[in-house]
Amino acid sequence: MRPGHSSSTPFWLTFPAVALMFLILILPIIIAAILSFTDYSLGNVGAEWVAFENYERMLTRRTYIKMIIATVTYVGVVVPASLILGLCAALLINSLKFGQAIYKTIYFLPVMAALLAMAIVWEFALHPTIGIVNEILEDGCTVPWVKFLLSFEFLPWTDPSASWFATGCSEGFPLWLGDRDYAIWTICFIGIWQGFGFNMVLYLAGLTSVPRELYHAAQVDGAKSAWDRFWLVTWPMLGPTNVFVVTITSIRSFQVFDTVEALTQGGPSKTTFVMMFAIYEKAIKENQIGLGAAITIVFLVLVLLMTLFQRQFVEKKVHYS
């Protein structure tokens, strides 16, 4: 115990935060947990106790299996991709001689823009015929070397006219948001676009804390190429940063909602029906608050498990200086 302060000081320092945490965050969750066992709907006077019916529904209906698949796919794709891209961007920018501020700002822009407007812009850009993405792809159809590259004509064992690009040129490029096979990947792409700038900034900070002497020492020890230097020095020293970034990115991607609400509304055929959107659809749109609350509880359990798993596995391997 440190001398010089009364034993009640910590209490007073933490009391406002703890009280607010309880009132604003934990209490509503407790209410949600209770509601998940009922049939409550906004505007009703009372609610019926239905015990585990809501949870049962979640385990049996096809829609909820799709929900888990969509969420896991999204997290599984976006977290690694935005981490790697963020790291690469940070490494590249860090080693530049000039122009760092401009690139940093450009890559951070997606984080700063109002989602509603961005989503609308993406929707226009992804339009199957007049959207800018497909327009660019279609322009590539007439440019021979682009066609060569993207239809894999350079690989002797493939049939170029059956490739994705070639069929796209002849029949029209896919409905990025309307096709069951593409929608989830499109949402993932937008999620990566939005998030990697955030990670880049965090990694940049981590990189500036790696002491230069270590690089010199590594060189003395025989690490010649940039690749060697990375594995020997940079990566281990980024350990603590990694923990922070992985945790925050994972939590954020589990909580994805805005893009789905604005672009696909969980469709087509529930392929982008991520959990946060499911909660919103059931609790707020459809006014089935009990069911929405049940999904919330399941969501929290899943995220909790994931976080604990991360702390076990990832943190053990990290050494702090």
Site string for another protein, 253-282 (x = CB under 8 A): --x-xx--------xxxx-----x--xxxx
Does the protein bind another protein through residue 318 (CB under 8 A)? Answer: no
Q: Hey, CA dihedral for 86, 87, 88, 90, is it positive or negative? A: positive
By CB under 8 A, name the one of 73, 167, 307, 310 that touches another protein.
Answer: 307
Q: What is the footprint of another protein within residues 215-244 (CB under 8 A)?
A: 240-241, 244
158 or 211: CB nearest another protein: 211
- Applying CB under 8 A, which of residues 143, 155, 172, 318 lies at the interface with another protein? 172
Number of residues that bind another protein (CB under 8 A): 114
Measured from the CB atom, is 117 or 155 closer to another protein?
117
**41, 73, 163, 310: residue in contact with another protein (rule CB under 8 A):** 41
Residue window 1-20: x/- pattern of binding to another protein, with contact defined by CB under 8 A: xxxxx-x-xxxxxx-xxx-x
Would you state the torsion angle of the CA atoms of residues 24, 26, 30, 35, taken in this order, to the nearest 10 degrees? 50
Q: Say which residues have a Cβ less than 8 Å from residue 98's Cβ, sequence separation at least 6.
A: none
Let me know: does 165 contact 150? Beta carbons within 8 Å: yes
Rounded CA separation 165/167 (Å): 6
The answer to the question of residue 312 lying near another protein (CB under 8 A) is no
Which position has the token pair 């977290």?
79
143 binds another protein (CB under 8 A): no
CA distance 240 to 63: 39
Question: d(Cα 107, Cα 69) in Å, to the nearest integer?
Answer: 30
Stretches 72-80, 140-148, 159-167, 297-305: which one binds another protein (CB under 8 A)?
297-305
Residues 107-136 that bind another protein (CB under 8 A): 107-118, 120-125, 127-132, 135
Q: 43 or 156, CB closer to another protein?
A: 43
**Phi, psi (deg, nearest 5) at residue 38:** -125, -175
Do residues 152 and 41 make contact, with C-beta atoms less than 8 angstroms apart?
A: no
Question: Using alpha carbons only, what angle is made at residue 176 by residues 175 and 181, rounded to the nearest 5 degrees?
Answer: 90
Distance between CA atoms of residues 124 and 132, nearest Å: 8
Task: Indicate which single residue of 77, 78, 87, 289 sits in contact with another protein (rule: CB under 8 A).
Answer: 289
Closest separation in Å from C-beta 188 to another protein:
15
At 295, list the tokens: 């999904």
Binders of another protein among residues 80 to 109 (CB under 8 A) are 89, 92-93, 95-97, 99, 101, 103-109
Helix, strand, or coil here: 93? helix
Which CB sits closer to another protein, 158 or 255?
Answer: 255
Binding flag, residue 51, another protein (CB under 8 A): no
Kindly state the smallest distance separating residue 277's Cβ from another protein, in Å: 9
Query: What is the dihedral sign for C-alpha 264, 268, 269, 270?
Result: negative
